[in-house]
Amino acid sequence: MKALVLFSGGLDSTTCLALAVDKYGADEVLALSISYGQKHTKELEAAQRVAEYYHVKLQTLDLALIFADSDCSLLQGSTADIPKTSYAEQLSETDGKPVSTYVPFRNGLFLSSAASVALSHSCEVIYYGAHSDDAAGNAYPDCSSAFNDAMNTAIYLGSGNQLRIEAPFVSKTKADVVAEGMKLGAPYHLTWSCYEGGEKPCGLCGTCRDRAAAFAANHIADPAL
């Protein structure tokens, strides 16, 4: 294998998968999907569908026990509700801290797990779909460009210079991600983003709002709706 894609079944990582398959071919790409006790396990079903669409091997990991003591509102163990406002509104009430759906160091843990798995398969690159909208205002500090640079250095050095991160959208917006994915024909109709595990996307949580805005900015309808 050449590339591992950290893969949630959402819009950003599906676009990463499209890029990796385009560059390396499906046989050289491994998708890694991580269960972590999230309320929206529906994204894992979406990951399965998208991986099948691209004929790439999908590996799954369950890391939920690591977050057993977290009170993050995104997790099944939490009694807190997922906020129904935009990230900007949420940040006005967090006193400089991340939003309540920030899962403690989740992306660092995911990238590190991806590095361990990638090295076991001799991959030379990890694709990671963080983008600048999620990092804005430090809503998700583990999506920022500075965080990504540090993790990339850690993974490159800590692997004995064998592995690096490719984060193609880290300085781009979610609207840019959609534009890129449309060019590549990414199967957005198979993806899932909403934080709630309902029958249909709620349309109100932070990620539903961001997804809708990204499609609107590209003047196209969300094919998953």
Q: What's the closest the beta carbon of residue 164 comes to a copy of itself, in angstroms?
A: 12
Nearer to a copy of itself, 160 or 185 (CB): 160
Per-residue x/- marks for a copy of itself, 90-129, CB under 8 A?
------xxx---xxxxxxxx-xxx-xxx-xxx--------
User: Of 42, 11, 67, 9, whose CA–CA distance to 181 is shortest?
Assistant: 11
Cα separation values, 129 from 9, 173, 215, Å: 11, 11, 17
Q: Which of 48, 70, 86, 218 binds a copy of itself (CB under 8 A)?
A: 70
Q: Which of 45, 52, 71, 93 binds a copy of itself (CB under 8 A)?
A: 71
CA R_g for the chain? 16
Cα separation values, 5 from 20, 66, 79, 164, Å: 8, 21, 32, 12
Looking from the CA of 123 toward its CB, the CA atoms found within 13 Å total 28
Crossing angle (nearest 10°) for helices 106-120 and 145-158: 30
Query: What is the DSSP-derived secondary structure letter of residue 98?
Result: P
Determine, following the binding rule CB under 8 A, whether residue 78 of this chain makes contact with a copy of itself.
no
CB 127 within 8 A of CB 16: yes
Q: Which of 65, 185, 199, 221 binds a copy of itself (CB under 8 A)?
A: 65
Residues found in the chain: 225
Stretch that binds a copy of itself, among 10-18, 48-56, 64-72, 191-199 (CB under 8 A): 64-72
* Residue labelled with tokens 């920030």: 102
Stretch that binds a copy of itself, among 139-147, 173-181, 199-207, 216-224 (CB under 8 A): 139-147
Q: What does the longest C-alpha to C-alpha distance in the chain come to? A: 47
Per-residue x/- marks for a copy of itself, 19-58, CB under 8 A?
----------------------------------------
| Near a copy of itself in 147-206, by CB under 8 A | 147, 150-151, 153-155, 157-163
Nearer to a copy of itself, 108 or 197 (CB): 108
User: Residues interacting with a copy of itself, by CB under 8 A?
Assistant: 61-62, 65-71, 96-98, 102-109, 111-113, 115-117, 119-121, 138, 141-142, 144, 146-147, 150-151, 153-155, 157-163
